[in-house]
Amino acid sequence: MVKMRRATILLRNNEMVLEDPEFIQKFYSSGIGSLERNILKLAPFEVLYLVYTNKACVLDNNGRIIPFDELVRRFQKKDSDVWIKFMVYYDLRRRGLIVMKGYTSGLELRVAESKAEKDRPKIMVFGLVEGRKVKFSDIRLMVDRSTSLGKNIVLAIVDKEGNITYYTISFSRSHIRRSK
């Protein structure tokens, strides 16, 4: 059996980066990471995905491999929703979709159904946790931001067992009136 080489992600200045040109091209072309000066910068949920799927390992400053569960704990210190982001990201990728970081740091992802639309994804997925209160104004903001960008809106509801249910939001603009 041929063993595939894994990418090595480095922890640099509190950022997760990838410097290997072969993996940069491979991952970036599939919508993973953001390219900056020949370095691929990765969001925490992208790192978790790559480690979980055995496509990469993460080295700390001493060259030690950081185990998956330790990565989760480290990331959760800075972002309590990182596990939810990872679950939605992983589920969408598993379904064959191209998934990219959203425009904000919230539970937001951009989704393309093919590599051809990677540069202009048509779907915005917003993750919500079952049982967690959400203000209507926050949903309105999601809808406004998505529609102003010409994106379709999908809500990903994550329940207590980690199951994800997707709801597509559609409406007719002519029936919505904004109060002043």
Whichever domain contains 17, its CATH number is 3.40.1170.20
Sheet holding 152-158, edge to edge: 98-101, 108-112, 123-129, 152-158, 164-169
As a whole number of angstroms, the distance between CA 44 and CA 100 comes to 12
Same domain (yes/no): 167, 103: yes
**88 or 103, higher pLDDT:** 88
- Inform me whether the pLDDT recorded for 2 exceeds 60: no
As a whole number of angstroms, the distance between CA 84 and CA 44 comes to 11
Same domain (yes/no): 69, 108: no
Question: Of 50, 78, 106, which residue is a domain's last?
Answer: 78
- Segment 156-171 mean pLDDT: 90
pLDDT at position 88: 96
Same domain (yes/no): 142, 160: yes
At residue 129, the 3 state secondary structure works out as: strand
Same domain (yes/no): 54, 101: no
**138 or 65, higher pLDDT:** 65
> In the chain, how many domains are there?
2
Give the structural domain span for 18. Answer: 7-78
- Segment 45-63 mean pLDDT: 94
**Residue 17: inside a domain, yes or no?**
yes
pLDDT tier at 152, thresholds 50, 70, 90: confident
Same domain (yes/no): 21, 87: no
Same domain (yes/no): 106, 170: yes
Same domain (yes/no): 87, 171: yes
Within 7-165, residue ranges assigned H as helices are 21-29, 44-52, 68-78, 82-94, 136-148
At residue 36, the 3 state secondary structure works out as: strand
As a whole number of angstroms, the distance between CA 58 and CA 67 comes to 8
**Residue 2: inside a domain, yes or no?**
no
| CB-CB contact of 153 with 169 (8 Å) | yes
Same domain (yes/no): 170, 131: yes
Same domain (yes/no): 93, 72: no
Same domain (yes/no): 73, 144: no
As a whole number of angstroms, the distance between CA 12 and CA 42 comes to 11
